[in-house]
Amino acid sequence: MNNIYNTLLIVQIVTSSLLVVCVLLQNRAEGLGKMFGGGGEVFRTKRGLEKFLHYFTVTLVVILMVLSLTLLKLGE
């Protein structure tokens, strides 16, 4: 039981680290572009790596949530 708990904790740490990296890699043109008068008015669809990062981020969030709830249940 303790071995499973420790393994899930390590997986949770790795998942959260990957989630931070994915969020930081996503490029938003809205940030500093609007501050300096840049054009962020064009709406476009996600393609290629941007689309993969978006879906990978959502997947990591779901995995992190399931891991957190599982660890909460095992910790009782």
For 8-59, the pLDDT digits (tens) are: 999 999 999 999 999 998 876 555 455 555 555 566 677 788 888 999 999 9
Cα distance between residue 45 and residue 31, in whole Å:
18
Total domain count for the chain? 1
Cα distance between residue 49 and residue 27, in whole Å:
11
Which phi and psi (to 5°) does residue 8 adopt?
-65, -35
Q: Which domain holds residue 66?
A: 2-75
Position 68 scores a pLDDT of 96
pTM of the model: 0.74
